[in-house]
Chains A and B, each alone.
Chain A
């Protein structure tokens, strides 16, 4: 076994040191009925590196990768170009095979990186403090609702109709067990979300928080200042959810528009699609006084015994290993390596690169909206969007997406898949365009769509 250094001679010598006659002596506390005599029957035995790689390559070949053809899928996970150096750097063993920086004297690499990451996220979001990351956007969103409940001592969360339905699903699942109340509605295929109803709900209830996705699931850009004003007038916190951080290179930071807590999915920078995980939950607060109610790890600056600047995990009295059942969250790991990838990618982009990347995404998305919207029978519902918009097509979009995939175009995410219980959305399809989309891809999509609908 190539990963096991002990030889049989080592094992014998070690058993002798221990005073055991065989390895079985070390498992004496396992009740006899539960002991397995040998390798579990029916399972394969060990394989060479070459054989394993061959098997896994065969499985990988059964997927159509995003790079195999024109690709327009988004809805919470975005394909962006990741610079080659990002993957090289995160594979350095000192990052890859380190653990949570419990011993800060020999973990300054991870800690300084986290401090930089927290600062980058805080600035991108227009917030005072960001944590060291969460599992993903959807779980960060639920944690934000829990935090708003602790701060306001209320337990009703109002969800904007443009919040990702899978995020809504996660929230509803958790709320069922915590006893929080959730009010949510599905969107309609309109140019703007139904803010009037939301504003009326805010005024008529005592919500702990209002949760708004920016840009929303249909790609629309909600009017945050207006919702913030209503939420604050009702004594509620505004939670803004962002699933595409590149958008914040072109759009104002949520914290600057009145958001109290900003959470999001950081996958778009550095992490890659990876069929949905691991991803990167981002979590930030505008007002530093809310820090002690935050979930997750926090890295802070301090000095060492010689007065040199250094970094440590801090404010851990909020966390489960100290507070146990009174902790702000049960979270233990964060998404460290994904945070590193995000931070490196954002450092390579910098201010200038992020703005240019956002502009290029938006330029190509506008072009795609124009070309696809010109296909007979197809309507772009959005007045506003960043790099993602919604098409209304004649007939069931789920079926259309399948047929286009057979033509080699991964065309978008059908709303029928995301909202199976909402027949009025069945004709909707969310289309994402990034800098990895070429003008030829857009033309190929438009041509295939025209052909299918003819």
Chain B
């Protein structure tokens, strides 16, 4: 019971669970507190906000479609609400708690200065349609961040409005299509490597393109010869992630770009992995025409449990005229001008249109700019170097116990890729991942990229100390050895999380996507049963 586990924190032997003591009346276990749904604890008369009592007979101009009957919204007083959400929060793993090596997601530390700055009233409490001369500071932030992104990527133009990475991909592909259409070229095909993020083919299809796979070489990179052979007058362009999803730099990127250009196509680079090269390589020097940048990855804006993201797109000269509205221009006077529908006619007639109602993710721009200014050109370069160093350290500390399919392809970039080769007793990547949960780590990305069997993609980021990495390596080595030995106990992991393995098949087979009151015994309506639809 008292033997420390691999990471030195908790008893590791699964049977320790049996010695955990008697069941509790509440189902709670000390700091591990169960929490009901708001619909089970709230009431229709309870509120946490003081507002004037409405007058029932007040005259109104709402017309005939008045709300009658209950909506079915439970209320909580402030102390109840604070407790509810605090309890829920404690059932989450987070970067603030520990290493979060989710490959391709760049889960780095989120500096708190960013949060402070984003909440300055001049930024937070500022309306997107306020007269332009009253929001010069907001436009300055958009412009200044845009200038940084252009300089860091070596690209001449930027579109700031895309709301997330996939939205940025769409922005880039629409610009490519608009540029091709402008020259009367109706190309139909976008080529994506098999190892691409799922958003790439989904985006290309959404934009009306037929998607074709490009094969990879045995060393995990785009097959240049195969790509060249496929190029032709029907290929609108390629979407290639660089560094790629196997964690490798696409050595031939420049040659790929030149070949695509020579065949009349355009080059989209998925910038999800920009953290590996920021300050060391400018994608503009590699022949890229469009690339999105996930501010929530490279530039540390918080992931927030799955968004909001932010996906500005940098453009080459060829695509710049087609960038979407609105955008910001700095005038010679030092004032900033907002180019939108009102002013675009005479100025930006070739813009492909508008991607969102307003200006993009301003709250993320303030955070990303704060992060960038904190690091400066020198610090950002150090970010890439430390991110790559940390990933290689993990790769070389584990490649004797975990299969690294591209371990001989040279150094990795910001993430290390392993496969499930050598696992015994039917154990899978999923089992090892769930074992990591018990060791106090968030699992790595599983089963992606699709080109590797049982893929495990580990991205430590630069904000982990060597001590944290060593602790992670020790735990991973122990788990890998258990997997290779066919340790059956891993199949039931996690043992110590707020929940054991969840039945995802049941969730999909009988979807319960909203809360419904359980049927109450006749004559005994419950408070929470009212309303709903």
Contacts and interface: CB of A to CB of B under 8 A. Distances in A.
A118 B126 contact: no
A29 B249 contact: yes
A56 B357 CA distance: 25
Interface in B97-111: 97, 100, 102, 105, 107, 109-111
A38 B279 CA distance: 8
A17 B163 contact: no
A199 interface: no
A15 to B, nearest CB: 7
A50 to B, nearest CB: 10
A275 B127 contact: yes
Interface stretch (B205-213, B222-230, B421-429, B480-488): B205-213
A98 B303 contact: yes
A159 to B, nearest CB: 15
B355 A46 contact: no
Contact of B307 (A106, A119, A336): A336
A444 interface: no
A19 B396 contact: yes
A27 B354 contact: no
A190 interface: no
Interface string B64-79: 1111101111111010
B95 interface: yes
Interface in A299-331: 299-306, 308, 310-312, 314-315, 317, 319-327, 329-331
A79 to B, nearest CB: 7
Nearest to B102: A99
Interface in A104-124: 104-110, 112-113, 115-116, 118-120, 122-124
A335 B358 contact: no
B201 interface: yes
Interface string B102-125: 100101011101011111111111
A100 B501 contact: no
Contact of B109 (A3, A276, A330): A3
A225 B128 CA distance: 32
Contact of A98 (B35, B93, B152, B203): B93
A267 to B, nearest CB: 10
A136 B199 CA distance: 19
Given A5-B465, A98-B94, A173 B355 contact: yes
A443 interface: no
Interface stretch (A147-155, A202-210, A229-237, A349-357): A349-357
B384 to A, nearest CB: 9
Contacts of B420: none
Contact of A333 (B62, B122, B207, B307): B307
B89 A95 contact: yes
Contacts of B58: 359, 363
A338 B382 CA distance: 32
B356 interface: yes
Interface in B186-221: 197-199, 201-208, 211
B514 A122 contact: yes
Nearest to A133: B307
A334 B73 contact: no
Give 3 nearest A-B pairs by CB, closest first: A350-B75, A276-B358, A173-B353
B504 interface: yes
B526 interface: no
B270 to A, nearest CB: 12
Most chain B Cβ neighbours within 10 Å, of A94, A100, A279, A310:
A94
A278 B303 contact: no
B288 to A, nearest CB: 11
Given A4-B386, A325-B204, A410-B131, 13 more contacts: A1-B382, A2-B374, A38-B381, A42-B151, A59-B122, A60-B122, A63-B134, A89-B86, A116-B37, A129-B514, A275-B358, A350-B76, A421-B341
Given A122-B514, A351-B44, A127 B533 contact: yes
Interface string B298-333: 001011111111100000000000001100000000
Given A63-B135, A352-B47, A35 B280 contact: yes
Contact of B198 (A67, A100, A327): A327
Interface in B121-180: 121-131, 133-138, 140-141, 144, 148, 151-152, 163-167, 169-170, 174, 177
A57 B366 CA distance: 11
B464 interface: yes
**Looking at chain A, what size class is its interface with the partner chain?**
35 or more
Contacts of A42: 151
Given A63-B134, A315-B511, A329 B206 contact: yes
A410 B130 contact: yes
Most chain A Cβ neighbours within 10 Å, of B94, B253, B342:
B94
Contact of A57 (B94, B100, B120, B448): B120
A116 B75 CA distance: 12
Contacts of A423: none
Interface string B383-395: 1011011101101
Interface in A47-68: 47, 49, 51-53, 55-67
B363 A278 contact: yes
Contacts of A297: 306
Interface string A1-26: 11111100011011101111001011
Interface string B353-382: 111111111111010011001111111111
B78 to A, nearest CB: 5
Contacts of A89: 81-82, 85-86, 89
A334 B110 CA distance: 19
Most chain B Cβ neighbours within 10 Å, of A75, A93, A401:
A93
Most chain B Cβ neighbours within 10 Å, of A13, A46, A312, A324:
A324
Given A63-B134, A106-B93, A221 B128 contact: no
**Looking at chain B, what size class is its interface with the partner chain?**
35 or more
Given A105-B434, A277-B359, A95 B304 contact: yes
A177 B121 contact: no
Contacts of A75: 129
8 contacts: A17-B397, A26-B388, A96-B110, A97-B94, A98-B305, A105-B434, A273-B126, A347-B81
A449 to B, nearest CB: 15
A263 B375 CA distance: 40
Contact of B254 (A31, A99, A172, A327): A31
Interface in B397-423: 397, 410-411
A435 interface: yes
Contacts of B396: 17-19
A433 to B, nearest CB: 12
Given A34-B285, A129-B514, A348-B49, A330 B202 contact: yes
Given A4-B463, A336-B304, A30 B249 contact: yes
Contact of A52 (B48, B97, B308, B373): B373
B282 interface: yes
Interface stretch (B2-10, B260-268, B492-500): B492-500
A272 interface: yes
Contacts of B166: 320, 330-333
A87 B85 CA distance: 12
B74 A300 contact: no
Contact of B354 (A41, A128, A173, A253): A173
Contacts of B119: 87
Contacts of B395: 18
Given A60-B137, A103-B433, A278-B308, A115 B37 contact: yes
Contacts of B304: 90, 95-96, 98, 336-338, 340
B43 interface: yes
B38 interface: yes
Most chain B Cβ neighbours within 10 Å, of A139, A347, A401:
A347
Nearest to B119: A87
B477 interface: no
A60 B308 CA distance: 22
A110 B305 CA distance: 6
B199 A416 contact: no
B415 to A, nearest CB: 13
